[in-house]
Structure formats: structure tokens, C-alpha cells
A and B are shown apart, each in its own frame.
Chain A
């Protein structure tokens, strides 16, 4: 008697569960019933202020704005520390896709990490929306059908800062370059811009990542007598280069051009050491009402103003969820096709378009760092000097070396 009852009850439970599952299927096709966004970032190393926990918060904010759900399915944000190591990142991404059910990966700052990740997602047919890495290889030699380069790249930075500085008369350059994929790429792109605009490159010195002292390198830069010292590095390396340049009095006779400077770097160096520097960014918190409103929300959660990478993660996640909503699936091919076919607008940019090579095209901005007397307080650091229209901001498609493009 008892056994029969248990049997009947179990059958009923199984039946109910099955029918519930079937009821959920229909036109909506979400793999394993959860949309998972993976924030692959540097949570502990030298880039954790420009991406890091802030990127996780930005992704969560985008999900919040969708009410935590898309098409009635839960949206989950997961994150991991790639430790700036390409092999760690590639292995984690495989694990995420094979066992974690991750559908879209974002942030992925550090170009070495991004290049490794883009190979894995292409093989596994998932999407990488890279907001953190800078190397143009992502949309050239190493482009894939599943990689979107969202926020900025070395071409856009070189084009913005390089062109502006040469125009101001800074026509001889010496580079201080971080010795890995990103640094080389930024150096090369800037050299091209400088030469195209009639400038001359006098030399370069390549330093190891996270070097503890920059004075030797700067002395070599000083000896070159170049008018401009281009800093083709990022994060803590840029900060310590600028600090040492001020200390050794280089800034009295030569000018620094930070080729990848984030607002968090300016914040931590202070305006006295950075005033007058030109920087190119894809976004700034104080551009308009929308950016100010979003940044205030971000600030309340993190006690820091967002960098362009944080804003990029928010925008990429929003763009992805919009695509899932519109196509009714998280199938990577369908989502990519929709994103290529439509224009995208949010607080990051308006009418952004996704090109065949994976480049997201939007306006870029040239800023000049304010003098201490001009700043109204913490985080009020930039004068907007030029809005570089989307058409001119990035490498033209005709010059792309991406094999996916039919020329």
C-alpha cells in the first residue's frame, strides 16, 4: 500500500516536471535555460582598477536593467580572475563553455588574454565581446566570426592622440613600449599615424611588463632629444613612467603622450603630474546627462567613477541581451547576425554599428587633462577637445587584414 502510494506520487512528480519543462520550450531557445555572461578580467593584478570588480558590477547593472531576466529566463553574471595569463584564460574559458554554460564573454582586458580567448570562442561557437583589450589584431589577422571588439583599440588611440599631438607641433617621437602584444601593436599603430602626418620616429625602448623602475628607460628617451615621448604601455606601468618623468625633469623639455591612459590613472597620479596631457578615450562619465546618471549609479556601488572599460562592459552586455531578446535565442550565429544587421544605442554611444571584421564602430573622444585650478573636484579631470566621428575613429575596413572580408 505504502509502496504503491510512493510510486504514484513519484510518477506524478516526474510527469509534472516533464510537462513544465515542455511548456517552457516553444519558440524561445535558451541553452540550459539560463543566459550566462562571463566577465573574464584581472581581479587582482595591475589592470584590476581599469577592469576588475568594476566590470563585474557594470555587467550586473546591465542585467538589473533587464530585470534580471530575458525572455523569461534568468540571466546570470559569473566572473573569474585570468591573472593576465593567456593560458589561464583559455583554460578557464573552455571550462566556462563546456561545463559552466557561459554564452557570452566580456571584458577580457589584456591583449594576450583576448587573443587566446577569441580562438576558444570561435572553436566553441560562443561570443566574445571584448571591451578591455587594445590590440588591433583582434579585428585583423586574428579576427573571427564570434569576436566583437567593442570599446577601443590601438588604432583608435594612436589616431586620436598621435594625430592631435603631431598637429600641435610634436613631430619627433620616442616610444617607451610595454614588451608584449599590446605594447607592440600600440607602438606600431602610433608610428604609422605619426609618419602619415609628417612626423619622425627617433627610436623606442621596450620594457618588461610591471617593471619596478622606469628611470633608466626615461633617460634613454631623454637622450633621444625627441619632442614627444610616447608611452605605449598601460596601468601601473604608465603611472610609474609619468611619475619618474616628472621626477627627472623630462617634462620641462619634452612632452609626454600617454597613448592608453584611463581616468583611474589620472585619479591616482593627480592633476599636477598629468595636466595638459592629451588622452583618447571612447567614453567619459561627464559627457552628457545619460552618462552622468549611469556613472552616479556606478559610483554609489563602487565608490569610484567608471572607466571606459566599465562603461563598455555595460554597453556590450546590454547589446547582447537586446539581441537575445530580439532573436528569441542565445544561439551565437543568430545573435551575431542580428547584432551585425542592427544599430545600437545606449549610454555608451548612439547608432553604433558592428562591422564584418568584428569592429564596433562609434565616436571616440580626444581629451586634455585639466589644470588643478580648473578642476571642480575629484574625477573632474578632462576637457573635451575633439569628438572623432565614428567614420574616422577606427581603421577603415578597406585596410583591414581580416581574412573574413571579401575584398
Chain B
């Protein structure tokens, strides 16, 4: 059986691969959405944090013998702390200003971080081995799926859903959401809003780092890995609706799949298809697919 001259089996394979890439988009755009929703900061340093996550795993393995599973836990904690440091030292002074200042500051930070890593590690990057438990591949009949890629989809879905649950369904999440709507009132109820904001940025950074560690065995760990991805991730956030949590998860996965199909039908356009969709969505629904007009 064929669709547009392409066997259905091949399409199924591409669907699955699209989901794998979509998982990364979802995880990264989720962090961006959380940060934008609660801090009103357009965090351009997100790609750099993702890259730092991958490098932290590589450095841990190469110099300290810290394995993949430990890294998956440790690295988000370390970079979460680093994120909180950034928020306390730099970002907290910008909340009263226009969005543009936050964007410029984080963009500058990203350039500095990337430049520093490039200086020490070069651009060709370093290989990170797939953990032994997940090496090998499973034959699904229509394609051979490396076990590690299956794990990526599972892990990222778990993390995304947990985040959604915490923010939309728990008391802590309710405080966070209330804090963004009216910080003064929430503070008056005795809740430490600045601390919540710091923790949120730290959490966003930790999410990026987690995605970085997950990505390390899949692609070469390189200083450019963040900037190759970040623009696409921003497009995902815009399509999903700035600040919408469920929106960024669903759009991340969906756009990953659409990109995957484009790679079969017209590979030359695979790097632009997401932006074409972004333009269309902005024309028809300026607030994004899942966003609400404020």
C-alpha cells in the first residue's frame, strides 16, 4: 500500500522519528512557555542551557566517571541552580521593563555561554555513548527503532505531563498562576512571590538541561546544538500560544511529526516548514492555537 508514491511502512517510520524530534521540541518549548507565562521573560538562553546540560553530562562522564542515569538526575539540579543564580543576579531587575530587555539580556547570555564552550571544546563536538541498558534496536516490522529513541519519547512525555499536572492541578501551581496574574495580592496572602519566580526560572533551566542530557547520546554534543534548535523551538511556542503549557506540548509533538513527513515528501523544505506553519497560524489565530487573547 502506498500514499503519494511512498510506502505506508516508510511513513510509519517517519511518524515515529517525527515524534522523537517532537519530544525535544515539546520539552524545550514547555520550559520556555513556563518561563514566559510566569516571568514574562522571552528566554533566549534556553538553547544555551540545553547545550550546557549535554556538556555537563559529557564532562561528568569523561572526567568524573558519572554515568548517564546519575547525570539525568544531577545535571538538571546543577543547571537549575545555575538558572536561579541568573534570575537572582540579572533577570530580577528587568521585570518592570519591556519584554525586549529580557530578550536582549538572555540572547547576550546565550552568545557568551556558547562562545565560551566553543573556545574550550571546538565546534565538532564530543561523542556521548548510549547507556548500555538502552543500546541496541528493536525491529518493529516497519522499521528498526533504536531503543534509546523510544526511551526519549517516554521520558519526555512523562516529564511534560508531570509539569502540566503540577502547574494546572496542584495548589503550588495555583499559587504560581495567581502570582502571575496579580503578584501584589498573592504577596498580601503571605506567599513569597519573588522566591516562586526564582524557582520557576530554575525549573525552566532544569527542563532544558534534562532535554540536553537526553539528547547527548542522540546527536553530537557540540556548542552549536542549542542554537541549531532554539529558533525552531520559539516557532513552536508561538504556534502553540505564548505561555500555554498544554499548547506547547501538543504543538511540539505535532510539528515534529509534520517536519518528519516533510523530510520524505520535500526534504529541501524540512527546515522551513515549521516557519510556514507559524506564519499561517499568526495570520489566522494571532494568539496561537492554544493561546487566549488577553
Contacts and interface: CB of A to CB of B under 8 A. Distances in A.
B279 to A, nearest CB: 18
Interface in B218-254: 218-220, 222, 224-225, 228-229, 232
A205 interface: yes
B125 A239 contact: yes
A371 interface: no
A219 B14 contact: yes
A268 B10 CA distance: 31
B20 interface: yes
Contacts of B14: 216, 219
A304 B143 CA distance: 40
Contacts of B225: 212
A267 B124 contact: yes
Contacts of A208: 267-268, 270-272
Contact of A243 (B127, B224, B264, B272): B127
B218 A304 contact: no
Given A212-B21, A212-B229, A213-B219, A269 B127 contact: yes
Interface in A265-298: 265, 267-270, 273
A387 interface: no
A273 B20 CA distance: 22
Given A48-B118, A216-B260, A268-B125, A239 B270 contact: no
Interface of A: 44-49, 52, 179, 205-208, 210-213, 215-217, 219-220, 223, 235-236, 239-240, 243, 247-249, 264-265, 267-270, 273, 304
B92 to A, nearest CB: 31
B144 A216 contact: no
B264 A268 contact: no
B126 interface: yes
Interface residues of B, number: 40
> Max chain A CB contacts within 10 Å: which of B115, B124, B146, B225?
B124
A210 B224 contact: yes
Contacts of A211: 270-271
Contacts of A239: 124-125, 220
B146 A248 contact: yes
Contact of A220 (B10, B21, B149, B268): B10
Contacts of A243: 127, 219-220
Interface in B140-180: 143-144, 146, 148-149
A247 B148 contact: yes
B278 interface: no
B123 A49 contact: yes
A219 B13 CA distance: 8
B45 interface: no
A215 B126 contact: no
A139 to B, nearest CB: 27
Contacts of B228: 210, 212
A220 B232 CA distance: 23
A49 B270 contact: no
Given A236-B124, A270-B127, A205 B267 contact: yes
B267 A273 contact: no
Nearest to A247: B146
B289 interface: no
Given A208-B268, A215-B20, A240-B220, A265 B124 contact: yes
Interface in B21-66: 21
Contacts of B122: 48-49, 264, 268, 304
